[in-house]
């Protein structure tokens, strides 16, 4: 997998506050903005931010980090499956149906990239803890 230089992490962190400011600006400028549209904007930007963080190379990229990266993607997909299952169950219990507007590609990509990032950072933390 081609990795980005570590400097891209600074760009990734711009994608976290930017959609919130954008949605606030759109709410004041466009009063008929749907709540689902605003959440999708936020999910999309956050998915891009976490995606860039996941693809950014560590300052010291060795075999252990590469192994952690692979395990993080596997763990992220595992957590995504259980996370979506939990969301479906909550949605069913709340609305008596499984399908909803919240299950979009933006949400799934955000959850996947967030889970992968969390798993990767946890593995790095656990390896440096000792």
Task: Quickly state the pLDDT bin for 78 (edges 50, 70, 90).
Answer: very high
Task: Quickly state the pLDDT bin for 95 (edges 50, 70, 90).
Answer: confident
The pTM assigned to this predicted structure is 0.85
Angle at 77 between CA 97 and CA 98, to 5 degrees: 0
Please report how the helices 18-29 and 35-55 are oriented relative to each other, as an axis angle in degrees rounded to 10: 160
Q: Which residues pair with 56 in a beta bridge?
A: 4
pLDDT tens digits for 1-15? Answer: 688 999 999 999 999
The tokens describing 4, both together, are 């980005």
pLDDT for res 101: 67
pLDDT for res 100: 67
């Amino acid at each position: 997998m081609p990795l980005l230089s570590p400097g891209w992490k600074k760009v990734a962190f711009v994608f976290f506050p930017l959609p919130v400011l954008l949605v606030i600006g759109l709410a004041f400028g466009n009063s008929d903005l749907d709540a689902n549209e605003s959440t999708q904007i936020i999910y999309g930007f956050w998915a891009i931010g976490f995606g860039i963080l996941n693809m950014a190379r560590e300052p010291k990229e060795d075999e252990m980090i590469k192994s952690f990266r692979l395990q993080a993607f596997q763990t992220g997909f595992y957590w995504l499956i259980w996370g979506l299952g939990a969301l479906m169950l909550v949605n069913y219990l709340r609305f008596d149906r499984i399908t909803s507007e919240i299950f979009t590609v933006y949400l799934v990509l955000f959850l996947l990239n967030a889970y992968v990032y969390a798993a990767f950072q946890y593995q790095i933390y656990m390896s440096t803890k000792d």
